[in-house]
Structure 1
Amino acid sequence: MRRQIKSGENPAGSSRALRLDPLSLPVSFDAHDVRADGGVRNVELHHERVVLRRAVQGMRMAIQVRVSDFRGIALRGIDDAQMLVLLHRDPSLTVPLCVSSDRDEIASAWQTWSDIFSLPQLPEDKACEPGARRRRSNVICSRRPKFLMRRRGGGSLDASNVHRGEREIIARN
């Protein structure tokens, strides 16, 4: 049986008391989502994946993302507190992990989450930078060019067309 933390009336993103324990994964909680119906989405955190469940205009969906697809654990400053988030390229897939005004607690949680997920710690200035562009593998690069496809390949030579040991050259008039 897995452990679950359900927040009561306040969604996890809007409450200042969000503290998830990284040592008790998997964990399930509700987070704030402006696009979802009711403004709430359900988040399941596992060691190797994150599952986001929400409903948009009555259509329910579940999005499963590998933890390795996230950029890192980012620190964000909000009004009088700081928040740790699991940062993704797509801002709608970013997951809140911890909100606290205690700097020592945030620092220890930041290190723990980073170690658990094997992701880098991203300070506020690094979290805003776009990620490195991925190189796409080109499927066509190993194929022959188009103009060479029209030509016949140099297969094996027919032995009857090869003349060896002849001295005379025949020319047509």
Structure 2
Amino acid sequence: MRRQTATSGFNPAGSSRALRLDPLSLPVRFDAHDIRADGGVRQIELHRERVVLRRAVHGMQMAVNVRVSDFLGVGLRGIDDAQMLVLAHRDPSLTIPLCVSSDRDEIAAAWRMWSDIFALPQLPEDKLRQPAARRRRHNAIRTRRPKFLVRRRAGHLLNPANIHQGEREIIARN
């Protein structure tokens, strides 16, 4: 795997470099800020067809493998005086930072390029904030008959068609 030198939210002291990944040199591996992970860092492997997120939470190592097609798109966020491109996911903890810059032309070109490489739509800032669709609350299976009863025909005891010819109906009385 070819690796790209990566910069993340944790730049060395005195560094003025912002996060900029080159979409033409994938795959890339870099570290990103994660407040829930041990040490506040998670490792990200970014490929054309998948993303692997590695982090440790309370000493438990985990790796999450997500297909690029599962992401919503390449989104644009405004932060202070700069803008940030992210690979947006329905789950905010799986959102991946791609580029940070204060140059609007550079961000627009990178936005278009990342969108073309991943074949995902470009999402403006207002589309990133929409909540996920609500799940259905009703259970379709609850009203069905159990499997062993499905094979049986439902019938009525007092239906005259159920009484055979020549037989009398027995009625018990006290």
TM-score past 0.5 threshold: yes
Gaps of 5+ in 2: 154-164, 168-174
Shift of 1:126: 1.0
Amino acid at match of 2:4: Q
**Contact in 2 for aligned 1:16/1:99 (Cα 8 Å):** no
Check if 1:113 corresponds to 2:114.
Answer: yes
Return the TM-score normalized by structure 2.
0.75
Check if 1:7 corresponds to 2:1.
Answer: no
Residues 68-121 of structure 1: CA deviation (Å, up to 9, x unaligned): 111111100000100000011111110000000000000010011111111111
Amino acid at match of 1:78: I
Amino acid at match of 1:57: H
Inter-CA distance 118–100: structure 2 relative to 1 (3 Å threshold): same
CA distance in 1, matches of 2:58, 2:145: 48
Shift of 1:131: 3.7
Output the aligned Cα RMSD: 2.9
Gaps of 5+ in 1: 153-170
- Number of residue pairs aligned between Structure 1 and Structure 2: 149
- Identical amino acids, percent of aligned pairs: 74
CA distance in 2, matches of 1:92, 1:5: 24
Shift of 1:19: 0.6
- Runs of 4+ more than 6 Å apart: none
**Contact in 1 for aligned 2:86/2:99 (Cα 8 Å):** yes
Shift of 1:16: 5.9
Amino acid at match of 1:123: P
Bigger Cα displacement from structure 2, 98-107 vs 52-61: 52-61
Return the TM-score normalized by structure 1.
0.75
Structure of greater relative contact order (alpha carbons < 8 Å, 6+ residues apart): 1
CA distance in 2, matches of 1:89, 1:101: 26
Residues 35-72 of structure 1: CA deviation (Å, up to 9, x unaligned): 11111111000011000011111111111111111111
CA distance in 2, matches of 1:66, 1:9: 24
Equivalence for 1:91: 92
